[in-house]
Amino acid sequence: MEHKKIVSLALLVCTLFFFVGVILSIPEKIGLCSQDIECIDKLGSSYGEPFVLSSLCLGLIFLILRFLPKEIFKTWLFFATWYIPVAAALTFLAPATSGGLFPIDKEVAVLMLGGIYLAVSILIIVIRLLFLKFYSRKKVIR
C-alpha cells in the first residue's frame, strides 16, 4: 500500500482515538454514569486522557508525514515500530494517581512520553529531509 494511504488511515485512527478519549474523559456528561451508581472518575483519568494526549501527538506527526516523501516515512517507521509499543506499555503500567511503581501518574507519563516522541520524531524527519536534500543536490552536481 502507498505510504500516503497508510499515513491517511493512521491519521483517521488517531482522530477516532481522540474522540473515544474525549467520550471517556466526560462519562457523566454523556450518560455513562447514573445517579444510582457512583460514577467512576478513573475512567477519564486512566483511559480518556491518555487516549486524547497520545492521539494528538501521533496525529501531528502523521499529518506532517502525509506531505513528505516515502523515504522519510520509512525512516520514521523504524523508530515508531519500537517506541510506540514501549510507550503504550509504560502508559498502561503507570498508576492513575501517583504512587506504586512509578512516582508519576498516567497523565504525566503520557505527557513525558509524548514529548519525547514528538521531539525524536521531528528530529528524525528534519535530519532525513536534510540528508535527502543534500544527497539529491550532490547527485545533480556530478
Long-range CB contacts (within 8 A, 24+) of 121-124: 121/61, 121/76, 121/79, 121/80, 122/61, 122/64, 124/75, 124/76, 124/79
93-127 confidence digits (pLDDT tens): 877 776 656 577 777 888 888 899 999 999 999 99
pTM of the model: 0.75
Q: Which range of residues forms the domain containing residue 117?
A: 3-141
53-98 confidence digits (pLDDT tens): 888 888 999 999 999 999 999 999 999 999 989 988 887 887 777 6
What's the burial of 31, exposed, middle or buried (CB within 10 Å: 0-12/13-18/19+)? exposed
Number of structural domains the chain divides into: 1
What's the burial of 142, exposed, middle or buried (CB within 10 Å: 0-12/13-18/19+)? exposed
The pLDDT, as a whole number, for residue 63 is: 93
What is d(CA 142, CA 133) in angstroms, rounded to the nearest whole number?
15
